[in-house]
C-alpha cells in the first residue's frame, strides 16, 4: 500500500494526474488532492474539461436506453411528494429528524437515496436555496394552520414535523452535499479529517467534521448491501453509540450528517433496512475523531 500523501502537491504533480483523474483512475487521496486544487486553478479546470470531453466521445456507444426506463424515472419523480423527500425523515413518525439529532434512540435518514427515492426537491439549491426554503416553510406553516382550524388535532405533530423539515432544509439547503462542500470543510480551521479503517479490503470511507458538528462522509466506497440492509453511521462517545443516520445500501458520493459534541469516533455498521436504535454489530469501518469535538 502506498503511503497517503500529505495533502499538498505541486501544480505539476497535480497536473500530471489530470488525465487519470478524468478517467476516474486515481486513488482516493489523489482525487482529493486534485479536487482541492481545481477551485483555485483555472488552467487545470480547463484541461480537465478537455479530457472529459474526449472521454465522453470514447464512452458513447451509440445505443438506446432500454424501453420503459424513462417511465420508471418519471414515476419515481412523482412517487414521493416533496414533504416526504425533503427532510432526512422516514415515512413514519418514529423516525427522528435532525432536530432530534444526538438523542439516543433516533434513526435519521442521510444523504440522497438513489433510484426510487430522489432527494428533496426543496433540497435543490437552484434558483436560490433561501427562496425554496422560505416557500417550503411557508407551505408547511399554512398546512399546519389548516389542520389547526379544521381538525384542531395533530398540531404538535405537525409542528414537530415542520421544525424538523425547516431544520433539515437549513442543514442541507445551503450546503447540498457535494465535493466542493467537502473541500471547503477540509480547508476550514479546526476541522477534523478522518480516514475510517474499513474491515473489508478495498472499502474506504473518509469524513470531515467541522467544529460546529456538521460533518460529511465522502469517498465512501462500501460493498453494496442487499436491499434488506442499510449502512448506518454512528457517533461514539465513551461507551455510547448514537445513531447519526442511515446511509443506504450504497453510499452516495457525499453524505451530510450532524455530530454531537464530544464525539470521539465515527463508525459505520451494516444493519437491517430501516436501521436500528442500538447496534450489536461490529463496525464495517471506524475512525477516531482527534481531538474529540
Partner 1 sequence: MPPSMLDASDAALVVAIGRWRQEALAEAYRRHAGAVFGLARRVLNDTTRAEEIVQEVFLRLWNEPDRFDPDRGSLRSFLLAQTHGRAVDLLRSDTARRNREDREGRAAAEAGYDLEHEVWDLAVADRVRAALDVLPDDERRAIALAYFGGHTYREVATMLEAPEGTVKSRIRTGLRRMRAALDDVGVGS
The torsion angles phi and psi of 37, rounded to 5 degrees, stand at: -85, -35
Tell how strand 214-221 and strand 229-237 pair up: unpaired
| Cβ atoms of 99 and 167 closer than 8 Å | yes
Shorter beta-carbon distance to partner 1: residue 70 or 281 = 70
- The whole-angstrom separation of Cα 232 and Cα 142 is 34
Give least dist CB 72 to partner 1, A: 6
Shorter beta-carbon distance to partner 1: residue 74 or 146 = 74
Shorter beta-carbon distance to partner 1: residue 170 or 250 = 250
Q: Is 62 in the site for partner 1 (CB under 8 A)?
A: yes
- The whole-angstrom separation of Cα 218 and Cα 47 is 25
- The whole-angstrom separation of Cα 265 and Cα 51 is 39
Q: Between residue 163 and residue 192, which ones bind partner 1 under the rule CB under 8 A?
A: 176, 178
| Cβ atoms of 235 and 266 closer than 8 Å | yes
Q: Is 160 in the site for partner 1 (CB under 8 A)?
A: no
Q: Is 77 in the site for partner 1 (CB under 8 A)?
A: yes
Give least dist CB 54 to partner 1, A: 5
Shorter beta-carbon distance to partner 1: residue 158 or 222 = 222
Shorter beta-carbon distance to partner 1: residue 101 or 119 = 119
Give least dist CB 176 to partner 1, A: 6
Among 3, 64, 156, 239, binds partner 1 (CB under 8 A): 64
Q: Is 11 in the site for partner 1 (CB under 8 A)?
A: no
| Cβ atoms of 167 and 123 closer than 8 Å | no
By CB under 8 A, the count of residues binding partner 1 is 63
Q: Is 23 in the site for partner 1 (CB under 8 A)?
A: yes
Q: What track of x and - describes contact with partner 1 for positions 97 through 136 (by CB under 8 A)? A: ---------------x-xxx-xxxx-xxxxx---------
N-to-C CA span, the chain: 30
Q: Is 253 in the site for partner 1 (CB under 8 A)?
A: yes
- The whole-angstrom separation of Cα 92 and Cα 74 is 24
Grid cell locating 206 = 473518509
What angle, 0 to 180 degrees and rounded to 10, lies between the N-to-C axes of helices 179-186 and 28-37?
80
Pick the stretch among 74-82, 90-98, 181-189, 258-266 that binds partner 1 (CB under 8 A): 74-82
Grid cell locating 73 = 424515472
Shorter beta-carbon distance to partner 1: residue 205 or 208 = 205
Grid cell locating 61 = 456507444
Q: What is the dihedral of CA 30, 33, 35, 40, to 10 degrees?
A: -150
Q: Is 222 in the site for partner 1 (CB under 8 A)?
A: yes
- The whole-angstrom separation of Cα 191 and Cα 255 is 16
Which is it for the CA torsion 170, 173, 175, 176, positive or negative? positive
- The whole-angstrom separation of Cα 284 and Cα 140 is 39
Give least dist CB 15 to partner 1, A: 8
Q: Is 5 in the site for partner 1 (CB under 8 A)?
A: no
Among 29, 39, 73, 213, binds partner 1 (CB under 8 A): 73
**Which residues of the shown chain bind partner 1 in the complex (CB under 8 A)?**
2, 16-20, 22-27, 45, 49-66, 69-70, 72-74, 76-77, 112, 114-116, 118-121, 123-127, 176, 178, 200-203, 221-224, 250, 253
Amino acid at each position: 500500500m502506498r503511503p497517503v500523501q500529505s495533502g499538498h502537491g505541486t501544480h505539476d504533480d497535480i497536473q500530471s494526474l489530470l488525465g487519470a483523474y478524468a478517467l476516474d483512475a486515481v486513488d482516493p487521496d489523489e482525487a482529493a488532492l486534485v479536487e482541492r486544487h481545481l477551485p483555485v486553478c483555472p488552467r487545470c479546470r480547463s484541461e480537465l474539461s478537455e479530457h472529459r470531453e474526449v472521454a465522453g466521445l470514447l464512452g458513447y456507444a451509440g445505443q438506446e436506453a432500454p424501453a420503459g426506463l424513462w417511465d420508471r424515472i418519471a414515476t419515481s419523480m412523482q412517487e414521493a411528494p416533496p414533504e416526504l423527500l425533503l427532510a432526512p425523515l422516514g415515512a413514519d413518525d418514529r423516525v427522528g429528524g435532525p432536530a432530534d439529532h444526538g438523542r439516543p434512540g433516533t434513526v435519521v435518514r442521510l444523504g440522497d437515496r438513489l433510484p426510487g427515492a430522489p432527494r428533496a426537491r426543496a433540497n435543490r439549491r437552484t434558483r436560490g436555496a433561501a427562496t425554496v426554503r422560505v416557500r417550503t416553510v411557508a407551505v408547511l406553516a399554512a398546512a399546519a394552520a389548516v389542520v389547526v382550524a379544521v381538525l384542531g388535532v395533530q398540531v404538535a405533530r405537525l409542528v414537530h414535523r415542520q421544525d424538523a423539515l425547516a431544520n433539515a432544509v437549513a442543514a442541507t439547503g445551503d450546503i447540498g452535499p457535494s465535493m466542493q462542500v467537502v473541500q471547503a470543510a477540509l480547508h476550514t480551521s479546526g476541522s477534523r479529517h478522518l480516514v475510517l479503517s474499513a474491515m473489508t479490503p478495498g472499502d474506504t470511507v473518509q469524513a470531515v467534521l467541522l467544529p460546529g458538528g456538521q460533518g460529511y462522509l465522502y469517498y465512501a466506497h462500501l460493498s453494496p448491501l442487499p436491499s434488506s440492509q442499510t449502512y448506518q453511521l454512528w457517533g461514539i462517545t465513551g461507551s455510547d453509540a448514537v445513531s447519526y443516520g442511515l446511509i443506504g445500501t450504497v453510499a452516495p458520493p457525499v453524505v451530510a450528517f450532524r455530530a454531537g459534541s464530544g464525539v470521539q469516533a465515527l463508525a459505520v455498521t451494516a444493519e437491517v433496512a430501516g436501521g436500528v436504535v442500538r447496534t450489536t454489530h461490529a463496525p464495517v469501518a471506524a475512525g477516531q475523531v482527534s481531538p474529540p469535538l
